[in-house]
Structure 1
Amino acid sequence: MAVVAGALLVLVLLGFYLSWRATRLDRLHHRVETAWAALDAALLRRAAAVLDLAASGGPDPASARTLAEVAGRASRAGEGERELVESALSVALRDALDGRPVEGAGEDTRARREEVLRAARGVHLARVFHNDAVSDTRRARRSRLVRLLRLAGTAALPDYFEMDDRAPRPSPGRSGTASR
């Protein structure tokens, strides 16, 4: 009788442990989805801020046209090309804004430029959070027990979002919100 009770206790504890692992995997996958939604929103916010800056005449007319074109492509990019298009927008932003003074610009243009810089930093943070969530989920799914018992169910293995997300440097001499 004691052996049966001991075996039953082991089975119950094993069931609780497996349930905990499956729930943890579910939470990790939910975290990846939430982080992706935040990254997607940050990317769209950056594209909108860049389009707004370009519509105002941007740093100069040639840069404004380039930024508008690249930001427009980023807004419409499909899943397969998104990383490349967003990286191209980061490069275009650095080419147009990186450390350039804004002396001749009006207050409206300065505010739009600072909004672009904030949005670019937000993209960096959102991408870091997303890739951390993906890393944690992939690490949990590598466990032999998880693979053997298929605790992840039919959930797809999440992918990292790799892009050039380095934000342009703020203008020299400006210590406002752009350098925070």
Structure 2
Amino acid sequence: MITSFVWAGLALLLIAVYLSWTAGRLDRLHARIDATRAGLDAQLLRRVSVAQELATSGLLDPAASLVLYEAAFAARQAEEEQREVAESELSQALRAVLGDAEDIAAVREAPGGEAALHELAEAVRRVPMARRFHNDAVRAARSLRRHRTVRWFRLAGHAPFPMAFEMDDEPPGPLAERVSA
């Protein structure tokens, strides 16, 4: 009889340890999501800032400057629900303005153009990496949250279900080649 109580107590202790470990793991994943989202936001803001600087620098023709500035301004001012669309539109504007090697060459030849292109290339290169890190963290948390144990014991608490950040982050072709070279 006492042996049964000991075994039952041991089983309950093991279950409690497992649940505690799983809750801690889930908490760490949510903290990682917060950190990667902050990193993604910083890289997106850097890309917007560099795009706005390029648009107002006089290195581009007036039409291209206007297109790029409006897309960058919209991305900077976008509400959270519209952020993915606005950032995708900025990517499209960057490809439209700097899509040809001739466009890149024209900017490079202008005074200060080489530095502006280098800064933009770095900003554009970092966005997909930050987005990938964020989406990997989201994927891991979603996977853990789908387990029955997590759902039955409500180990996620009141934390919102993590959402991936989906956007068009393909850089302008010649600019991407320039960074990788």
TM-score using structure 2 length: 0.91
Name 2:62's counterpart in structure 1: 61
Give the Cα–Cα distance (whole angstroms) in 2 for the partners of residues 114 and 164 of structure 1.
21
The 3-state SS of whatever aligns with 1:170 is helix
Is 1:28 the counterpart of 2:29 in the alignment? yes
Aligned length: 177
Deviation readout 1:106-125 (Å, 9 max, x if unpaired): 35112112211211111111
Query: 1:75-102 CA distances to partner (integer Å, 9 max, x unpaired)?
Result: 1111111111100000000111124234
Matches within 5 A, 1:99-118: 99-101=100-102, 102-104=104-106, 105-118=109-122
Indicate if the aligned counterparts of 2:121 and 2:175 stay in contact, CA closer than 8 A. no
1:2 is aligned with what amino acid? T
1:102-152 deviation line (CA, Å, top 9, x unaligned)? 444235112112211211111111111111111111110000111011010
1:136 is aligned to 140
- Per-residue displacement from partner, 1:11-46 (whole Å, max 9, x unpaired)? 111111000000011011111111111111111000
Is 1:11 the counterpart of 2:15 in the alignment? no
Deviates further, 38-47 or 62-71 = 62-71
Secondary structure of 2:12's counterpart equals helix
Q: Select the structure that is richer in helix.
A: 2
In the other structure, the counterpart of 2:85 is: 84
Q: Which segments of 5 or more consecutive residues in structure 2 lack a partner in the other structure?
A: none
Partner Cα separation in structure 2 for residue 84 and residue 95 of structure 1: 16
Match of 2:169 among 159, 165, 172: 165
Q: Are the aligned partners of 1:87 and 1:165 in contact in 2 as well (CA < 8 Å)?
A: yes
Paired residues of 1:32 and 1:134 also in contact (CA < 8 A)? yes
The more displaced of 102-111 and 47-56 is 102-111
Question: Would the alpha carbon gap of residues 87 and 171 (structure 1) be closer, same or farther in structure 2, given more than 3 Å must change?
Answer: closer
* Percentage of pairs with the same residue: 45
**Runs of at least 5 residues in structure 1 that lack an aligned partner in the other structure:** none
Secondary structure (helix, strand or coil) at the match of 2:81 reads: coil
CA contact (8 A) 1:130 1:160 kept: yes
- RMSD over aligned Cα, in angstroms? 1.7
Distance in 2, Cα, partners of 1:30 & 1:90: 28
